Amino acid sequence: MRRLAAAVEVEAMSLYYHLPGKEGLLDGLAETVIGEIVAAPVPAAADWRAALRGRFLLAREVMLRHPWAPAVLGSRPAIPPALFGYYDEIVGTLTAAGFTPHLAHRALHAFGTMALGFVQELFTPGTTDTGAAEADLAEMAAAVPHLTAMMAAEMHAADADSLGWCDTRAEFEFTLDLLLDGLERQRAVT
C-alpha cells in the first residue's frame, strides 16, 4: 500500500478514503488487468486454434507488462466479473468451430490460467541463487536422480519473457500448443 500511495503521491492511509480496504484494492487491480486483456486488439485468425493461440499470447503480453498480476489474480476468492465476458468469448470461439458445450467446458478447465497468459505454479524454488540451487540439486541427486537430471538440464535464469520459475515464453507456447493439438483431436471425434 505504501508503494502504491507513493506512486500516486499520497499518504498510504488516504488510499482507504477511496477503497474499502486492501481486498478492494486487489479486486480493482484484478479487474483492471482483466480489462486490459479483454481490450487487447485481437488480429483476425484463420481458424479457432490460431484465434485462441493469438488471444492467449496477447494476454501473456499483458502479464509481462504487469508481472505482479498472476499473484493478484490467483489470490482472488471469486472469479472477477470482467472475466465472464472473456470466457464467453473463448467458449464462443470453440462452439463456432464445432466444439460441443461439453468439450468447450473441458477446454476451459484445461486452459486454466493459460487463457490469462500465465502458468500457475504450485511451488517456487527455495532460492534464486544459482550456486545454492546447484548445491540443492547435488544433494537431491541420490534420492531423485531422474528429476534432478532433468532440472539440471533445464535450469535457466529468469529473463524478460518469464513470469516465474517455469513460465518462459517457450514453455508457455509449448504447453499451449499441446493443449490446442489435443483439443483438435477431441473435436474431430465428437
Segments making up each domain of the chain, as ranges: 23-124+170-190, 125-163
Which phi and psi (to 5°) does residue 93 adopt?
-60, -45
* Residue 108 pLDDT > 80: yes
Instruction: State the average pLDDT for the chain.
Output: 85
CATH of 23-124+170-190, picked from 3.40.50, 1.10.357, 1.10.3470, 1.10.10, is: 1.10.357
Residue 173 or 15, more confident:
173
User: What confidence category does residue 89 fall into, taking pLDDT thresholds of 50, 70 and 90?
Assistant: very high
- What is the C-alpha to C-alpha distance for residues 122 and 110, in angstroms, rounded to an integer? 16
Residue 20 or 38, more confident:
38
Buried b (16+ CB within 10 A) or exposed e, 43-69: eeeeebbebbbebbebbbebbbebeeb
Q: Which pLDDT value is given to residue 121?
A: 64
Q: Which pLDDT value is given to residue 104?
A: 97
- Nearest-CA neighbor of 53 among 176, 167, 189, 140? 176
Residue 118 CB neighbour total at 10 angstroms: 25
**Rounded average pLDDT over 88-108:** 96
Type of residue numbered 80? P
Torsion sign (Cα): 81, 124, 111, 173:
positive
pTM of this prediction?
0.80
Assigned C-alpha cell, 146: 531422474
Contact 103, 183 (CB under 8 A): yes
* Residue 115 pLDDT > 70: yes
- What is the C-alpha to C-alpha distance for residues 93 and 52, in angstroms, rounded to an integer? 8
| pLDDT, tens digit, 9 for 90 and up, residues 126-182 | 555 667 767 777 788 888 889 878 877 776 666 666 666 666 788 889 999 999 999
* Residue 97 pLDDT > 70: yes
Type of residue numbered 37? I
Assigned C-alpha cell, 115: 487463457
Contact 40, 58 (CB under 8 A): yes
- What is the C-alpha to C-alpha distance for residues 30 and 48, in angstroms, rounded to an integer? 27
**Rounded average pLDDT over 72-90:** 92
